[in-house]
Amino acid sequence: MLKKRIVICLDVRDGRTTKGVKFQNNVDVGDPVEMAAAYYRQGVDELVFYDIVASVRGRGPILDVVARVAAQVFIPFCVGGGMGTLEDIRNTILAGAEKISLNTQAVKQPALITAGARVFGNQCIVLGMDAKRDAAMTSGYRVFVNGGRTPTDWDARDWAIRAVELGAGEIVLNSIDADGTRDGYEIPLTRLIAQAVPVPVVASGGGGKSEHLVEVLTTGGADAALVASMVHSGEYTVGHIKAALSDAGVLVREDAAHRTKICSGVT
């Protein structure tokens, strides 16, 4: 049985880590490079960085932050926001990222998923999907873009399936309804997507205590759980979370032996 991963997300705006609730009322919580280094020392399995305003502002990826993080941590980390071209993807990987998250641009230009997977490998192309409850959709969930600001015509399940067909090798699935609430993950949504696609699904949005991670990694069907508020607040450390998961019978990584670069040969 594959071990479950703990992923920490850092939303970045204007060079600072920020955190909100349901994509609103964001507040500054620290320097992303310093926080990344601290979480690396705690033993986190992976990191995810999102420039939450890049798509809205029409700006490219945060290469300066990527390079500074790569000099501090030696675990896989994913970067999203502002990826509109293959050159953006290439530059971000060359700056030190192992994975690239396509969210808004994946919807606007789906061919970028295929092109990215062909050039850099499926394992490097992650679909970032922000979904919100909507009874008008077949699955009950609608896909949003532009940092959760803009609704699309895509049903969440249909878009997940299509993105994987196009070449996405992983999905980071964020529930807008649960984001930042710390009331628990959107289990029906996570289970829906995990059962629909053959690639790893990272559950995001709502993690507030260790029991929430146990639930989403077992009954929720997620391969990994993403956390933010519960560790940014200082209430939990990665070690505390992993110990609780292990006590609950969830297999987790306990050492740093897996910390290798997964994308190579990029020139």
Separation CA 198–CA 57 (nearest Å): 34
Q: Is 177 a catalytic residue?
A: no
* Distance (Å, whole) CA 89 – CA 4: 27
Query: Residue 22 class from Cβ within 10 Å (0-12 exposed, 13-18 middle, 19+ buried)?
Result: middle
Give yes or no for a contact between 190 and 221, defined as CB atoms under 8 angstroms apart: yes
| Active site annotation includes 179 | no
From the list 11, 51, 88, 179, the catalytic residue is 11
| Confidence band of 59 (pLDDT split at 50, 70, 90) | low
Domains of the chain listed by start with CATH number: 5-247 (3.20.20.70)
Q: What is the pLDDT of residues 17-48, one digit of tens each?
A: 876 565 555 666 688 999 999 999 999 999 99
Per DSSP, 75 falls in state S
90-99, 103-112, 253-262: least confidently modelled range: 253-262
Q: Residue 125: beta bridge partners?
A: 100
Q: How far is CA 19 from the centre of its chain?
A: 14
Say if residues 243 and 236 touch (Cβ distance below 8 Å). Answer: no
Please report the DSSP string for 37-74 in residue order: HHHHHHT-SEEEEEETTHHHHT----HHHHHHHHTT--
Active-site pick, 45, 130, 155, 179: 130
3-state SS assignment for residue 18: strand
User: pTM value?
Assistant: 0.90
Measured at the CA of 217, the angle between CA 27 and CA 18, to 5 degrees, comes to: 10
Confidence of residue 262 (pLDDT cuts 50, 70, 90): very low
Does the structure show a pLDDT above 80 at 15? no
Q: Is the pLDDT of residue 136 over 70?
A: yes
Average pLDDT score over the chain: 90
Are 116 and 124 spatial neighbours (Cβ–Cβ below 8 Å)?
yes
Label residue 62 by pLDDT band (50, 70, 90): confident
Which DSSP string corresponds to 111-158? HHHHHHHHHH-GGGEEEEEEEEE-TTSSSSEEEEETTTTEEEEEEHHH
Complete DSSP assignment for 169-232: -EEEEEETTTTTT-S---HHHHHHHHHH-SS-EEEES---SHHHHHHHHHTT--SEEEESHHHH
Residue that has been written with the tokens 């628990």 in this structure: 184
